[in-house]
Structure 1
């Protein structure tokens, strides 16, 4: 196989792999039935005048499937952490026991589960669009090369196979996440 064609296929695969990893990262932020420290990944705390991620000023744990505990490294931050969680508008009601902030994660309603499943589908569709865009870019680059018709058509078939396999990966990831969301 031509070096240039191999390079284009490799960069296309890399681009599609990036779409998959972005999808997985986006789906970890979508809440399934159980508590996860990732639920608080967007919370920023005012720490000595600068906005700092919650994970950098405290230890975040999940002692059980319905509880998140946030133990700050400095006790003086308890009230700030509690306020930051409330202001993040995540639907949580934090409780401060003097040592740590405890968040009881309420069970999801059926309506909320459907909303989250729809959100997961939207993320998966974005990943598929990104994969198809990588395919389109690869095909444009291949056509710009000065190669034989046979080599071009074989390379386009390889790009399509890559696209299909990564599309299937997106579907598998989505179905796993939907099952996780819909499980009561």
Structure 2
């Protein structure tokens, strides 16, 4: 797992020993909005989404994860309070997971954990700032084009209605934009 390459051999071995198999079906809920997030996930196959439900029950996609992605509750509040969003599989999923406390305890020392944690916090912050910039400064078609550049595999692996929600448009609008701008893959 490339996500662990910078870790000591001791820590990598302990993480692999503590890993539990993740084998989920399409549409399985890995985490509900009412629960704290207590697991670290690594996907070897499949697609997972994070989404919010608004007061009218409409879904709004927040983020997608694909094979090779590691995702986990990086803040204390995510681990101790209801997270407010759900995590669901969009396809059959294989991988591994760890209980967060066990995952953290596998690290050789606090310094190694802090380095690992900082790397992931920076990645999360960069992704969030980029997404916020795109939402505020780009049109829907420009956001779709940016998605084609930044995450082309999403286009092939995530259903169009979920991509539309992620882009902040309806599925009909996404279809029209793709036709009008000749963006069908």
Please classify the TM superposition score into its range, dividing by the shorter chain length: under 0.3
Give the structure with the higher percent strand.
Answer: 2
Structure 1 length-normalised TM: 0.25
Greater relative contact order (CA < 8 Å, ≥ 6 in sequence): 1
Give the structure with the higher percent helix.
Answer: 1
Larger radius of gyration: 1
Structure 2 length-normalised TM: 0.25
